Structure 1
């Protein structure tokens, strides 16, 4: 019995020396994601500028808001030094921004992707840029919507053609909107063949 009492006393003394604070070293804290929990992903863009320079966040958000003029405003959050979340409040506003691309701040193009449900805006890839391209040197026999579409898909991915491409008697060039991959080289020219004999 004396030995048992001695063992119990040693155990009690050992527990008494333990400190709750010592256990903090083993705790793991989850990152607080509440800052993004209120974001409505239906009308969000995640964007970055094509530059290695530091972006003046305050100047940028005022500039983009003045260019876009969304009816219900826009909320801008800086996720990283050159990664931003743009929250709109209506489909009309975000569609107008998407359709009006490319946008610039100073000399830097804004590249963006629409945020999809369940994606992390901090890590989602941003690889595409929509631009308008002028198509010059198209011969008379090649002036058709199909040719314009095919050229757009050769440059990148065809999005739309200018509504005025086939309006009027004579046009010096056509305009086509395409999506290009940022890391792919631009294509300056191509050859088009008609009836296996005629080239443009």
Structure 2
């Protein structure tokens, strides 16, 4: 069976059209760019564990935004905050530094790779 596959593979060839290849556009979706522009990534400057739900609720209350942001844990130490209005995101950035349970919250712009 193995020899049969090897022989078939040796006879394999592409047509002229198949040899041209396929072009896939490298452009990012505008909707994704807009979402990324409304996000911040952050972490608490602490190695000790914390209650994520308490953190989330405390930050939402402290920030007093137009619409509640979506706050997700994206790693052991990282959080992702998605805002729904630029003004809300700017309010949080302008109001920093923020803290939770006496631990500093570090926030920065999300660039899609962070």
TM-score (norm 2): 0.68
For the residues of structure 1 that align with 2:104 and 2:79, how far apart are their CA atoms?
13
Provide the residue aligned with 1:20 in structure 2.
none
Task: Give structure 2 stretches of 5+ with no counterpart.
Answer: 2-31
Higher normalized contact order (CA 8 Å, seq sep 6+, divided by chain length): 2
For the residues of structure 2 that align with 1:40 and 1:53, how far apart are their CA atoms?
31
Task: Give 1 or 2 for the bigger CA radius of gyration.
Answer: 1
Which residue, 102, 105, 113 being the options, matches 1:107? 102
- Structure in which a larger fraction of residues adopt helix: 2
Matched, 1:82 2:82: no
Provide the residue aligned with 1:94 in structure 2.
89
Provide the residue aligned with 1:67 in structure 2.
62
RMSD: 1.8
- Structure in which a larger fraction of residues adopt strand: 1
For the residues of structure 2 that align with 1:66 and 1:82, how far apart are their CA atoms?
21
Instruction: Report the alpha carbon displacement of residue 59 of structure 1 after superposing the two structures with TM.
Output: 0.5
For the residues of structure 2 that align with 1:85 and 1:58, how far apart are their CA atoms?
14
- Number of aligned residue pairs: give it: 85
The answer to whether the 8 A contact 1:48-1:83 is kept is yes
Provide the residue aligned with 2:19 in structure 1.
none
Q: Any idea what the Cα deviations from partners look like across 1:20-40, whole Å, max 9, x if unmatched?
A: xxxxxxxxxxxxxxxxx7x81
Shift >3 Å, 4+ stretches: none
TM-score (norm 1): 0.40
- Written as runs of structure 1 = structure 2, the 5 A alignment for 1:152-191 is none
